[in-house]
Amino acid sequence: MSKDVTQKIDFKKITTLIAEARINAFKTVNKELINLYWDVGKYVSEKINSDNWGKSVVKEISEYVQNQFQDIRGFSPQNIWRMKQFFETYLETPKLSPLVREISWTNNIIILSKCKEIEEREFYILLSTNEKLSKRELERQINSGVFERTMLANKKLSTLRTEFKPEIQNIFKNTYVFEFLNLPKEHNENDLQKALIKNLKNFLLELGKGFTFVGEKFRVQVGMHDYYIDLLLYNRNMQCLVAIELKIVEFEPEFLGKMNFYLEALDRDVKLPNENPSFGILLCTDKDTEVVEYALSRNISPALIADYETKLIDKELLKTKLRELYQLLEPNIDD
């Protein structure tokens, strides 16, 4: 090995150490900042309850702090009220109170203001932590109803959990939203595939945690014939290949036969011995729930039939669908 190559390796190691130190420093500073806001929120909450503090007192606190520390930010009256709400929201949820210290104050406020249920807040706190979501990415995930779409898929994927166990939880969605593609109303499968590749970062973000891109039009050879899988990915959480087939029509049962063929080819010729069986996603413009249920009832390969939208879905509609599914699958105990 030449001296130049050795120096480059050493230099790269140093830059890696610097990057890691910066990340650790940010985590430490962020945690201390969230701890500070928590303590201030606790103090203000207790004083409002015991001494009947009101808006005027909180305004005085803001002015006093900013006069004492002229370089400090984040202590506007509005933000102090948020600290109070922050403390009161997570005080009775010991499971979440340590988790909120792992994400930025900005992301905490977004989740606090846009998510009403504790389960939904927990979902987005963990998503922000695991995916290191920026403010813009988190807002997009919430606005596109990722929580509702994931919960709908979880309910419908229960039969696959015996094979993948907990790894499958919160990975797949019932409906995928590709509003970032800017596709014309009339488009073909090739247009859809090219647009997804062009917007790969947003595509992987929409797919969810743990996905990495392997290839497009991935060739598998069976006998003397070549076949091409539209998109092939890998999921690190499930430790398996994920084949995606794109359809610009409503789901038809025969699509599943072709997907099973692809999964068998991947498992025999591409999958590594330590990996789990390959998984398939059929992305269609629409699907009839009853047709999907019939098609999957005797299907032995792990596959998901999902639809996709090219515009954001009304979140209230998703919430309604989720409530209806809960009622359907978890009937009232008194019944």
pLDDT tens, residue by residue, 231-264:
999 999 889 999 999 999 999 999 999 999 999 9
Calculate what percentage of the chain has a pLDDT beyond 70.
88
pTM more than 0.95: no
Beta bridge partners of 257: none
Assign 222 a pLDDT band (cuts: 50, 70, 90).
Answer: very high
Q: Is the pLDDT of residue 227 over 90?
A: yes
Q: Is the pLDDT of residue 52 over 60?
A: yes
Strand-strand pairing, 303-309 and 211-222: unpaired
Mean pLDDT, rounded, for 72-79: 88
CA proximity to 154, closest of 139, 168, 133: 168
Q: Is the pLDDT of residue 135 over 50?
A: yes
Strand-strand pairing, 240-246 and 279-284: parallel
Sheet holding 240-246, edge to edge: 175-177, 303-309, 279-284, 240-246, 225-235, 211-222
Q: Is the pLDDT of residue 10 over 90?
A: no
